[in-house]
């Protein structure tokens, strides 16, 4: 039981890191679809380096600095399947960078609403809003993407695809959990790195795990419009655990995006 508890602690840590960096699983088959790794990236009309790392780095920098990219809608889901149990959480809302965001979600089948404006945080409990002492859901759709950059030089460019009508360059990367852990700079992985020396069971899980992540980056606006990561982890003598995180970002700079004034929420606070 203790060994299994430690294994599930590992899975929880991996899942948290995955959630912050965008991850998905494909239901059904537990093997990856065949991919042509001889695909050559198409010519970049802006003269950017053709590697996936350059595409992603440029997109992340533009998301921070482009005035037209500071607000957008998003929607997506996180799916986890451990043994025979499956849990899906759905998210949708809007973001205004450096200002706030809102989240409408169903987490483990429970409705959830969260709203942040500047340094104020509110959660909806049934028909009332309550003030959150601390931010319970540090939600950033693009959080953790810098952690993919050391791997993206090995990404394959797939055929262009459209996301809500936006023609996008598609980059896909595959690796093992061991490869991810070795190069990752995420502080979430530090406890796992310290355990590896005397934990052959953890080494087995990481070496036998498979991670595939895919980015859809607009060919004209150079912004991320969709991402997906699929993780498969073996559970010794118990099958596998799958995790999927899939998000779409759309309608950048939509004039219809407005984060409520705190007063509009505070009048409904449950005191």
> With bands split at pLDDT 50, 70 and 90, how would you rate the model's confidence at 18?
very low
pLDDT of residue 50: 66
| Structural domain total, the chain | 1
Q: Is residue 4 part of a domain?
A: no
**pLDDT tens figures, 166-222:** 999 999 999 988 888 777 777 666 666 666 666 677 777 888 889 999 999 999 999
- The vertex-222 CA angle with 221 and 224, nearest 5°, equals 110
Residue matched to tokens 């005397």: 198
Q: Is residue 30 part of a domain?
A: no
Q: Is residue 109 part of a domain?
A: yes
Q: Is residue 56 part of a domain?
A: yes
Q: Is residue 89 part of a domain?
A: yes
Over residues 101-130, the mean pLDDT reads 82
Q: For position 95, which CATH number holds?
A: 2.50.20.20
DSSP 179-212: HHHHH---GGGHHHHHHGGG-HHHHHHHHH-EEE
Domain extent for 139: 52-266
Cβ neighbours of residue 131 under 8 Å, at least 6 residues apart?
120, 121, 122, 269
**pLDDT tens figures, 117-146:** 888 888 886 777 888 766 555 566 777 888
Q: Is residue 129 part of a domain?
A: yes
Q: Is residue 19 part of a domain?
A: no
- Calculated CA dihedral for residues 186, 190, 195, 199, nearest 10 degrees: 0
Strand order in the sheet with 100-107: 128-131, 120-125, 110-117, 100-107, 85-96, 71-82, 239-250, 224-235, 210-218, 166-175, 156-163
How far is Cα 188 from Cα 13, in angstroms, rounded to an integer? 7
Q: Is residue 88 part of a domain?
A: yes
């Amino acid at each position: 039981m203790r060994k299994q508890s430690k294994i599930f602690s590992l899975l929880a840590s991996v899942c948290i890191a995955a959630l912050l960096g965008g991850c998905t699983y494909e239901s059904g088959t537990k093997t990856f679809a065949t991919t042509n790794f001889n695909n050559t990236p198409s010519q970049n009309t802006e003269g950017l380096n053709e590697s996936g790392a350059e595409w992603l780095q440029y997109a992340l920098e533009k998301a921070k600095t482009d005035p037209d990219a500071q607000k957008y809608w998003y929607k997506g889901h996180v799916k986890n399947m451990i043994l025979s149990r499956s849990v899906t959480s759905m998210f949708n809302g809007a973001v205004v960078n450096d200002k706030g965001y809102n989240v409408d979600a169903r987490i483990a089948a429970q409705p959830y609403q969260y709203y942040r404006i500047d340094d104020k945080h509110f959660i909806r409990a049934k028909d009332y809003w309550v003030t959150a002492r601390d931010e319970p859901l540090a939600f950033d759709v693009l959080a953790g993407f810098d952690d993919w950059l050391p791997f993206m030089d090995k990404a394959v460019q797939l055929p262009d695809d459209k996301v809500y009508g936006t023609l996008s360059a598609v980059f896909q990367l595959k690796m093992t959990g061991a490869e991810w852990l070795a190069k990752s700079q995420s502080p979430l992985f530090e406890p796992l790195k310290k355990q590896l020396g005397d934990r052959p069971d953890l080494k087995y899980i990481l070496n036998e795990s498979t991670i595939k992540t895919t980015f859809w980056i607009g060919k004209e606006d150079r912004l991320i419009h969709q991402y997906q990561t699929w993780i498969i982890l073996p559970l010794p003598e118990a099958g596998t655990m799958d995790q999927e995180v899939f998000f779409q970002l759309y309608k950048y700079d939509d004039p219809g995006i407005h984060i409520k004034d705190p007063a509009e929420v505070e009048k409904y606070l449950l005191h």
